[in-house]
Structure 1
Amino acid sequence: MVKGKNIGPTLESFLKEEGNYEKSQAIAIKRVISWQLQETMKKQHISKSEMARRMNTSRAHLDRLLDPENEKVQLDTLYKAATAVGKQLHLELV
């Protein structure tokens, strides 16, 4: 085996071939956002109850937002969450 040489397709091309690329991207993005929100909440000592209050939502709704396995989330919810921790939400098409 030669070092530095790839054998076979990249993960990205494999996921595209299998038809799973878009879903994988959506899940990865949601997991990162969930992690970022949780880390920010920890750093700022914001409890889930306080976060839900700041977002003007229920604790159950916040739990769904913070659940990395639940990729279903609305943009307005992400915006509320970012605002609640003093951050901004930036989205772009690339």
Structure 2
Amino acid sequence: MENEEDKDMVMLHLVRRNNKSFYDLAKIYKSDRNWFYRENLPISMTPNEDVKQIVQDTLPQTHYDIKGCTILTFKEDLPLLKEKITEYFDNFKQVE
């Protein structure tokens, strides 16, 4: 797996915030980073682990590296990952 310095790679950082800690994200929000944001998630939901599993189930093993809450993957894989992750959140809300 390449490193995060590679221009073809992107780092995904999984963070779950509550209303009290959301202000911590202000400095990131003003940066050049991209966001995938969902609100009002049930406390029982484990999105970090589920998103890691989605990555593992969706991409070839050579297309990602997962360490803790950070996923390193190729930029070309982002549209497919976004589709799968959006589907996950949409389906979870419907089941709730």
Instruction: Provide TM-score, normalisation by structure 2.
Output: 0.29
Higher share of residues assigned helix: 1
Rg larger for: 1
Higher share of residues assigned strand: 2
Structure with more relative contact order (C-alpha pairs < 8 Å, separation 6 or more): 2
